[in-house]
Amino acid sequence: MGRGLAKLYKKYKSKDFEIVSVSMDYDDAKWRNAVEKDQMEWTNLIDSEGLEGDAQLATIFPE
């Protein structure tokens, strides 16, 4: 998923396109490795308490 978003981000970031990713992963090191490997250059956040944490899953598409 990250690699596909990386292509979109590179193509549209100059047109005020922004991505904010929130991971609910328990393993901080694996998350950091995935961000680097998938070249996720946008804002990346983590709630390392997983599904028990404070982050809520939301997907919003502008109209």
10 assigned to some structural domain: yes
Q: Is residue 56 part of a domain?
A: no
51 inside domain:
no
Tens digits of per-residue pLDDT, 15-60?
999 998 888 888 889 999 989 998 899 999 988 776 665 655 555 5
In-domain check, residue 17: yes
Q: Is residue 15 part of a domain?
A: yes
pLDDT of residue 4: 82
CA gap 32, 21 in Å, rounded: 12
Domain assignment present for 1: yes
Residue 37 located in a structural domain: no
Number of domains forming the structure of the chain: 1
Helix (H) or strand (E) holding 12: helix 2-12
Is 52 domain-assigned? Answer: no
Q: Which domain holds residue 12?
A: 1-32
